[in-house]
Amino acid sequence: MDAQTLNNKSPDASVAATYFSPDDYLLNTLQRAVANNQDIRVSSGSIGSLTIMSSRGEYFTDSPDLPALLCQSPDNCRVRILDTGDHQPPPDSRIGRNIDELMWQAAFHVSEGRLMEGCNQADVIQLDYWPNLTRLPHTPNSFRILALLSKHPTSVFFASRLLKVPASEIYQIYSAAKAAGLSRTINRKAEEPRLEPHRSQSLLSSLLKKIARF
């Protein structure tokens, strides 16, 4: 089969989707903080840290590689719940970025063409708000995908067929938009997971130290 034939061939939207779980990445950590209006700081060694100010809808980061940090397993990170005295961000970064943008990035980077658990190929997606793609990672056909979903809600499967783009690209954009709260599923009731609040790790550490003495 020559290159021209390959280029003209429609993407196979019928290929079974693969999935990723937010629990395996920092996405779940962020979702739990936002759902419970908690202010937290997440750090992971040389990759830097994230300060999530859910009470203000903002985040701050000193990470030299934010995508790498967002792709970390929660087991590789330290999560600290911020006290009242911790709420002031560093002097050089008092203007935070919108948390919705962070959620988009977290899902986008870990997706790699996979669907987020809780999403489905048959979901009919309605885009309620446009993300600021000039500040966010996106795929080559993101504008076309988002334009379709905002004007004509359709399923992941048919969006891929109509736009003649790989289904994996739809999966990545849908996962990011879903995580950021920019889209909703209109053909079924979404099953939202119960997200427990973060517990103080300092308390957990003290308990572990007591156990270690015995």
Q: Look at residue 186 in the predicted model and tell me its pLDDT.
A: 93
CA neighbor of 19 nearest in space, from 140, 154, 144, 178 = 178
Q: Would you say residue 72 has pLDDT above 70?
A: yes
CA neighbor of 105 nearest in space, from 180, 192, 24, 183 = 180
pLDDT band at 193 (very low <50, low <70, confident <90, very high): low
pLDDT band at 145 (very low <50, low <70, confident <90, very high): very high
Burial call 90-127: b when 16+ CB within 10 Å, e when fewer: eeeeeebeebbbbbbbbbbbbbebbbbebbbbebbbbb
204 bridge partner residues: none
Q: Would you say residue 104 has pLDDT above 60?
A: yes
Average pLDDT over residues 138-161: 95
**Biggest distance spanned by C-alpha atoms of the chain:** 71
